[in-house]
A and B are shown apart, each in its own frame.
Chain A
């Protein structure tokens, strides 16, 4: 849920910008938005719904993840015309690539897991999916494009420990930029749209 924090930061920054500049917060029409809904529904059941995700096999979960990412890829291509969408689309593409090349899940290394969950080595196995999430535990030798895997860590916030990828960073920065830009003057939004 850490990416939701980026959405909140972007929204607050954008609304503040609009308020200070005394202009409305201007959204624009996304192209083919239903593709996102089509992509999100299978992921909701496979990863987010606490009851249903336990009854979905790892193979099916990886198939659902990759197929939903194909819909998101189409959505990204249709919406690439807006410059602040570029880092979001690039971040998504990097995540998609590393997931596709590593058996349909995002790789995470044992060393990252040891730092993420110290003293819980019995809760994961190399080569297996990590819990009911999108990650799979792979050694660096087993991982293709390891630099795109979940390898960065946030300092722990209370009970919350987070590992994230380069793609996640780009998505977070892009979403903050996009939502902030909507609070700008109409001219700057139009200028950005045409570039």
Chain B
């Protein structure tokens, strides 16, 4: 039981660190898209 909960803890830590990384990158992507103002033709938006 102790071993199982240990594995569960490790798995949840790994998942949460991946989620944190995805949120971090998503935040930076949104910031860059919102803060930048390049004008592009032949593609969508800036």
Contact = CB atoms under 8 A, between A and B. Distances in A.
B33 A3 contact: yes
A150 B35 contact: no
A138 interface: no
B39 interface: yes
Contact of A116 (B24, B27, B32, B39): B39
Interface stretch (A42-50, A55-63, A184-192): A42-50
Contacts of A27: 20-21, 24
B1 interface: no
B36 A160 contact: no
B6 interface: no
Chain B binding surface SS class: helix
B34 A1 contact: no
Chain A binding surface SS class: helix
Contacts of A108: 39
Interface string B9-40: 00000000000110111011111111111111
Interface string A43-81: 100011010000000000000000011001001000000
A7 B29 contact: yes
Given A50-B44, A161-B41, A95 B36 contact: yes
A163 B37 CA distance: 9
Contact of B35 (A50, A72, A117, A162): A72
A135 B31 CA distance: 18
Given A158-B42, A159-B42, A161-B42, A167 B36 contact: yes
Contacts of A33: 23, 27
B28 A178 contact: yes
Interface of A: 1-4, 6-7, 11, 25, 27-28, 30, 33, 36-37, 39-40, 43, 47-48, 50, 68-69, 72, 75, 88, 91-92, 95-96, 99, 106, 108, 116-117, 130, 133-135, 150, 158-165, 167-168, 171-172, 175, 178-179
Interface of B: 20-21, 23-25, 27-46
